[in-house]
Structure 1
Amino acid sequence: MKSINMKTLWITADDALARLGTKPQTLYANVSRGRIRAKPDPTDPRRSLYHADDVQRLAERHSGRRHTAAVAAQAIRWGDPVLPTTISSIAGGRLLYRGRDAADLSGAAALEDIAILLWETPGVVVKAFGCVMTGRSRLAAALGDLAARVADDLPALGRNPAVLRTEAADVLSTVAAGLAPWPDPIPLHQRLALGWHRPDAAEPIRKSLVLAAEHELNVSAFAARVTASSGAALSAAALSGLATLTGPRHGGAWLSVTRLAGQAGSIGVREAIRAMLSSEGAVRAFGHQLYPHGDPRAKIILESFEIPALYGLLVKAGEDLLGEPPNIDFALAALAATFDLPQDAPLVIFALSRTVGWLAHAMEQVESGQLIRPRASYAGS
Structure 2
Amino acid sequence: MSDELKRGLEGVLVAESDLSYVDGEVGKLVYRGYDIEDLARGASYEEVLYLLWYGSLPTREELDAFAAELAAERTVDDGVLDVVRALADADERPMAALRTATSMLSAYDPDAGDDPDEEVTETSLRQGRRITAKIPTILAAFERARQGAEPIAPDPDLSHAGNFLYMLTGTEPDAVSEETFDMALTLHADHGLNASTFTAMVIGSTMADVYSGVTGGIGALSGSLHGGANQDVMEVLYEVDESEKDPVEWVKDARAAGRRIPGFGHRVYKVKDPRARILEEKLRDLAESSGNTKWLDYTTAIEQYLTDQGLLEKGIAPNVDFYSGSVYDSMGIPVDMYTPIFAMSRAGGWIAHVVEYQEDNRLIRPRARYTGPVDAEFVPIDER
State the partner residue of 1:110: 44
Name 1:147's counterpart in structure 2: 103
Alpha-carbon distance in 2 for matches of 1:275, 1:371: 50
Q: 1:227 to 1:281 in 2, by over 3 A?
A: farther
Decide which of 122, 131, 134 is 2:85's aligned counterpart: 134
Contact 1:213 1:354 in 2 (8 A): yes
Distance (whole Å) between structure 2 residues aligned to residue 263 and residue 346 of structure 1? 18
| Aligned residue in 2 for 1:190 | 162
- Equivalent position of 1:284 in the other structure: 262
User: What is the DSSP-based 3-state SS (H/G/I as helix, E as strand, rest coil) of the residue aligned with 1:69?
Assistant: coil
Deviation at 1:175, TM superposition (A): 1.8
1:76 corresponds to which residue?
9
Partner of 2:299: 311
Q: Partner residue of 1:3?
A: none
Instruction: Find the aligned partners of 2:282 and 2:139 in 1 and give their Cα distance.
Output: 23
Aligned to 1:42: none
Equivalence for 2:134 = 174
Q: How does 1:54-65 map to 2 (within 5 A)?
A: none
Q: Distance in 1 between matches of 2:203 and 2:120?
A: 19
Equivalence map 1:1-381=2 (5 Å): 68-70=2-4, 73=6, 76-77=9-10, 79-91=11-23, 92-120=26-54, 123=66, 125-126=69-70, 127-129=73-75, 134=85, 136=88, 139-150=95-106, 153-154=112-113, 159-180=119-140, 182-185=153-156, 186-194=158-166, 195-196=168-169, 197=171, 198-199=173-174, 200-265=176-241, 266=243, 268-270=246-248, 272-273=250-251, 282-306=260-284, 308=295, 309-321=297-309, 322-323=311-312, 324-381=316-373
Give the C-alpha shift of residue 179 in structure 1.
2.5
Indicate the RMSD between aligned Cα atoms, in angstroms.
Answer: 3.0
In structure 2, relative to structure 1, the CA distance for the partners of 1:244 and 1:272 (3 Å cut) is farther
Aligned AA (2:219): A
Q: Distance in 2 between matches of 1:378 and 1:325?
A: 38
Question: Offset at 1:255?
Answer: 2.6
Give the stretch that moved more between structures: 312-321 or 81-90: 312-321
Give 5+ residue unaligned stretches, structure 1.
Answer: 1-66
Relative CO higher for 1 or 2, CA cutoff 8 Å, sep ≥ 6?
Answer: 2
* Rounded Cα–Cα distance in structure 1 between residues aligned with 2:115 and 2:206: 9
Q: State whether residues 20 and 30 of structure 2, in contact with CA within 8 Å, keep that contact through their aligned partners in structure 1.
A: yes
Structure 1 residue 242: Cα displacement: 0.9
Q: What TM-score, normalized by structure 2, do the two folds share?
A: 0.72
User: In structure 2, what residue type is equivalent to 1:260?
Assistant: V
Shift of 1:225: 0.4
Q: Percent identity?
A: 27
Cα distance in 2, alignment partners of residues 339 and 145 from structure 1: 25
Q: CA deviation at 1:141?
A: 4.6
**Bigger shift: residues 317-326 or 183-192:** 317-326
Distance apart, 1:74 and its partner CA: 5.0
- Equivalent pair of 1:156/1:232 in contact (CA under 8 Å): no
**Distance in structure 2 (CA, Å) of the matches to 1:310 and 1:329:** 14
SS of the aligned residue for 2:41 comes to coil
- What code does the residue aligned with 1:317 have? Y
2:196·2:218 contact (CA, 8 Å) conserved in 1? yes
Select between 156-165 and 281-290 the one with higher mean Cα deviation.
156-165
Aligned equivalents of 2:345 and 2:229: distance in 1? 16
Q: 1:362 to 1:292 in 2, by over 3 A?
A: same
Is the 8 Å Cα contact of residues 233 and 262 (structure 2) preserved in structure 1? yes
Cα separation, partners in 2 of 1:375 and 1:112, compared to 1, 3 Å: same
Q: CA deviation at 1:75?
A: 6.8
Q: Cα distance 1:183–1:151, how it changes in 2: closer, same or farther (>3 A)?
A: closer
Number of matched pairs: 313
Residues 118 and 373 (structure 1), Cα distance of their counterparts in 2 relative to 1, 3 Å cut? same
Deviation sequence 1:151-176 (CA, Å, 0-9, x none): 67436999442333222101212323
Structure 1 distance, partners of 2:364, 2:257, is 37
* TM-score, normalised via structure 1 length: 0.73
Once the two structures are TM-superposed, the CA of residue 112 in structure 1 deviates from its matched residue by: 1.5
Q: Which amino acid aligns with 1:244?
A: A
